[in-house]
Amino acid sequence: MALLELRNVSKIYHLGGEEIRALDDVTLDIDAGEFCSIIGPSGSGKSTLMHILGCLDSPSLGTIKLDGVEIQKASTGELAHIRNRKIGFVFQFFNLLPKLNVVQNVELPMIYSGVSGKERRERALRALEMVELGNRLKNRPSQLSGGQQQRVAIARALVNDPKIIFADEPTGNLDTHTGEIILELFRNLSREGRTVMLVTHNPEIAAVTPRRIEIRNGKIADKVDTRLAGLDRKSAVVPAH
């Protein structure tokens, strides 16, 4: 059984009587442990797809199953709970809380899942060790470089041990070299068996992932959505820019 199952999912907006289909009848499976990218130009609907996959939004039509549970009819409160336990987000602009230090930022998701203070601290430290930031615990995000901030964000995404990690243009705000380090981090996570979804407009970055899903005009472009059979996941390389 797939980790994420989308069946005929549409997202429809109404703008002044005009119907806009940001997503149009998308059917998609994502298995546990997959490393996959969603690619498409801006306005293609890839963000909408990520929002729906990431339980930030509900589809207008169709069904979606996460971890065997249908969630298309979930209330915002239930969606918040699912995001908290099963999904980790990494954003283009890092989205760290500027008033909190590094550890507190990483602890944030656990505050909402009711983890006790001591365990919270331990798990946050472990996650920060994983992204090699164990020495910057008390710094504020503004005192860190972009790459470091993104690593804090990754630690935050990992800390509740989610089923799936979404990264929305994670390298978009970083220089090439730092971007490569971040991508390498995602590749490592994938090797450890985690499910990682990269959302990007950059085909070179998408090339890192064994599977690519291209979105055009709210639909999956068939010819690109191929599981790159024969290409071993581990041999995928970071492309030179």
Give the total residue count for the chain: 241
The reply to whether 89 sits near another protein by the rule CB under 8 A is: yes
CA-wise closest residue to 40 among 194, 162, 240, 220: 220
Nearer to another protein, 47 or 190 (CB): 47
- If the CB atoms of residues 17 and 114 are measured against another protein, the closer one turns out to be 114
84 or 208, CB closer to another protein? 84
**Measured from the CB atom, is 158 or 189 closer to another protein?**
158
Residue with smaller CB distance to another protein, 29 or 122:
122
Q: Which residue has the tokens 């944030």?
A: 108
Query: What minimum distance in Å lies between the beta carbon of 150 and another protein?
Result: 14
Site for another protein in 97-136 (CB under 8 A): 97, 99, 108-109, 111-114
Contact 189, 196 (CB under 8 A): yes
Q: Does 46 bind another protein (CB under 8 A)?
A: no
> Hey, which residues between 142 and 161 contact another protein (CB under 8 A)?
156, 160
- E strands within the chain? 4-15, 18-30, 35-39, 61-66, 69-70, 87-90, 164-168, 195-200, 211-216, 219-220
CA gap 100, 143 in Å, rounded? 12
By CB under 8 A, residue 16 contacts another protein: no
**Beta-bridge partner residues of 39:** 200, 214
Residues of the shown chain interacting with another protein in the complex, contacts defined by CB under 8 A: 51, 56-57, 76-77, 80-81, 83-85, 89, 91, 95-97, 99, 108-109, 111-114, 156, 160
